[in-house]
Amino acid sequence: MSQNLVDLHCHILPGIDDGAKNLDVSMALLNKEIQDGVAGIVFTPHFHYERISVEDFAAKRKAAFLKVAKAARENGLSLAAKMGAEVYFTTALPSLDLSVLAFAKSNYILIEFPTTCHPAGIDETLYGVRQRGYTPILAHVERYPFVAEDPTLLYNWVSEGCLAQINASGLLREGRTAHWLQKLLDWNLVHLLCTDAHSMDPRPPNLAAGYSKLPSSIARRLRRNGIEVYLGNDLVPPEPTKPKYRFGHWV
């Protein structure tokens, strides 16, 4: 796996969330991942505490996972895979069974914030998760307006032990989003690149294309980080730089 790519955030399991609608779509997505050089995947369907219990979610996820695993074997697809979740933010998170929601056989847990507001209780909740022995991975941090308005929020979370993930699509759009992601990378506030794939169109697997937009040194670091997280190893990222606001811009 050392020379391959790992996707730690995708919605490829069929019929469990707003990702793949059926097994055929799942297989098309998996084939595209493999074509891109992906050797390991963590399936991360959405989990909303207010909508489903952890137990019911785990049962649905397992059923979908077994369908995909069986189809992959029958089609001769060679791919390492684990179950995980993209956990929608809730202040109840530290009290949940995090072993079910974390990436299998690891202490990493993918957490998504709302994109429409800055929720209260983030600092306390992330602290509670870390106190339970888990490392939060903050999903697609480029999508949160409150982080764009004040990236020192992200700096604080990373400084306290969280990891940050971005979507490859943000790099491929170029323009403002790609420019912003480059700043986050320069500040060492990004650790992982993933697809967040939902469908073949408009949200396809695109990890190889995303990596091609990065400087080689950063691409190597993020690729290595992805492998370490997949394997459940501890990650020691470089020290982040605190963004400063000068003359109307974050630098």
- The tens digit of pLDDT for each residue in 210-234 reads 999 999 999 999 999 999 999 999 9
Determine the average pLDDT of the residues in 105-132. Answer: 98
Residue 2 has pLDDT above 60, yes or no: no
Q: What residues contact residue 62 under an 8 Å CB cut-off, 6+ apart? A: 83
Across all residues in the chain, what is the average pLDDT? 96
Q: Which domains, ranges and CATH numbers included, belong to the chain?
A: 5-250 (3.20.20.140)
Q: What residues contact residue 135 under an 8 Å CB cut-off, 6+ apart? A: 107, 108, 109, 161, 162, 163, 235
Residue 124 CA from chain centroid, whole number: 21
**pLDDT at res. 1:** 52
Buried b / exposed e over 106-135, threshold 16 CB at 10 Å, is bbbbbbbbeeeeeeeebeebbebbbebebb
pLDDT digits (tens, 9 = 90+) for 67-88: 999 999 999 998 999 999 999 9
Determine the average pLDDT of the residues in 119-132. Answer: 98
